[in-house]
Amino acid sequence: MLRLHYNLEKVSMGLVVAIIVAASIGGIVEIAPLFTIDETVELPDDLRPHTPLELAGRHIYMREGCYACHSQMVRSLADELDRYGPYSLPSESAYDHPMLWGSKRTGPDLARVGGKYSDDWHARHLIDPRSVVPASIMPSYPWLRRPLDTELLRERLETLAKLGVPYDEAMIGASQADALAQSRPDGEGADAVRARYGEKVVIRDFDGDPSRLTELDALIAYLQSLGTLTDAPYTILKASSADIPDGDGHE
């Protein structure tokens, strides 16, 4: 062995090839099989993709680096089920390019935050967190009151469709109109949004200012959608709650 290496050290290309081989095996073994997951793990029937407004909000979530302090991945541990709700399923983030599972909880997990608070609470919390949670160390985001830039929304849906997320022609074509319509519950487009994205989509004036479509509208729409894209985590947990200690706190 030593002799072999003694000779290898004299051939630079030999070292290069050996390094590439040694450093590839692990990745291939662990990553390649995951691409068959699409076939092995079925997507729940009721799984819907994000609406255009929620996607715009997701983009703001990334832009502001919310993911640096918040995870969106409930682990299968008893205390997490009690604190946050059912553990996260792989199918829930199947349409997420990129995933936002996160790695640090300076603030709580947000995977199940949809529906937990009112829109008004979120609006006040985002503009000034300490006005609702005095001990909070979350940054304030007063600039979210500015108008939402929808310039790239169509391209966003189009690109996601290319990557396999089920957005059809109609959804792509109406992306900007749908974004506005989701914040106008009494407007004409509301029914069209429901028709395209399902009855459970939340259609409200999220930021309390019906005259404008703001970044706050988009971000709150996104937060309210988290954990509501499919019911599968709840049904699976109920079905198996006998196996899980303390599995009763997921309301």
Partner 1 sequence: MADTLSLFERRFALLLSILLAAMGMTMVAAARHGVMAVHGFITIALGVGLVLALGRVYYSAPPVAERAGRFYDAPTRLGIAMTLIWAIIGMGAGVWVSALLYWPDATPAVPWTSFGRLRPVHTTGIIFGFGGNALIATSFHVLQRTSRARLAGSVSPWFVLIGYNLFCVWAVTGYLMGSTQSKEYAEAEWYADLWLVVVWVTYFVLYMRTLARREEPHIYVANWYYLAFILVVAMLHIVNNLALPLRLNAAESLPVWSGVQDAMVQWWYGHNAVAFFLTAGFLGMLYYFLPVRSGRPIWSYRLSIVSFWGITFFYIWVGSHHLHYTALPYWVQTLGMTFSVMLLVPSWASAGNAIATLNGAWNKVRDDATLRFMFVAAVFYGLSTFEGSFLAIRPVNSLSHYTDWTVGHVHSGTLGWVAMIVFGAIYTLVPQLSGRETMASSRAVEWHFWLAVAGTLIYVVAMWNAGITQGLMWRAYNENGALSYSFVQSVEKMAPYYLLRTIGGALFLAGAVICVLNCRATVLLAKGEAADRPLVRQPAE
Q: What values do phi and psi take at 221, rounded to 5?
A: -55, -40
Q: What is the spatial distance between Cα 89 and Cα 67, in angstroms, rounded to a whole number?
A: 19
Q: How far is the CB of 98 from partner 1 (least distance, A)?
A: 5
For position 65 contacting ligand HEC by CB under 6 A, the verdict is yes
Tokens standing for residue 50: 């994000």
Site string (162-201) toward partner 1, x via CB under 8 A: xxxx------------------------------------
Which one of 118, 121, 130, 170 is in contact with partner 1 (CB under 8 A)? Answer: 130
Which 212-241 residues touch ligand HEC, going by CB under 6 A? 219, 223
Sign of CA dihedral 197, 200, 205, 208: negative
Q: Does 193 bind ligand HEC (CB under 6 A)?
A: no
Q: Does 145 bind ligand HEC (CB under 6 A)?
A: no
The stretch near ligand HEC (CB under 6 A) out of 57-65, 153-161, 209-217, 243-251 is 57-65
Q: Which of the choices ligand HEC, partner 1, none does residue 219 contact, using the CB cut-off of 5 to 8 A by kind?
A: ligand HEC
Q: Which residue in 47, 53, 56, 94 binds partner 1 (CB under 8 A)?
A: 94
Residue 169 binding target from partner 1, ligand HEC, none, CB below 5 to 8 Å by type: none
* Spatial separation of the C-alpha atoms in residues 44 and 132, rounded to whole Å: 36
Angle at 83 between CA 52 and CA 93, to 5 degrees: 30
Residue whose structure tokens are 């706190």: 249
Shortest distance, CB of residue 23 to partner 1, whole angstroms?
5
Which span sits near partner 1 by CB under 8 A: 12-20, 168-176, 216-224, 236-244?
A: 12-20
In angstroms, the CA 101 to CA 74 distance is 9
CB 123 within 8 A of CB 224: no
Task: Convert 149-185 to b/e letters by CB count within 10 Å (16 or more is b).
Answer: ebeebbebbbebbeeebebeeebbebbbbbbbbbbbe
Alpha carbon distance 134, 177 (integer Å): 38
Residue 222 Cβ vs ligand HEC, minimum distance, rounded to whole Å = 8
| The only residue of 139, 142, 147, 249 in contact with ligand HEC, by rule CB under 6 A | 139
Residues near ligand HEC (CB under 6 A) are 61, 64-66, 68-70, 106-108, 110, 113, 116, 129, 133, 136-139, 141, 219, 223
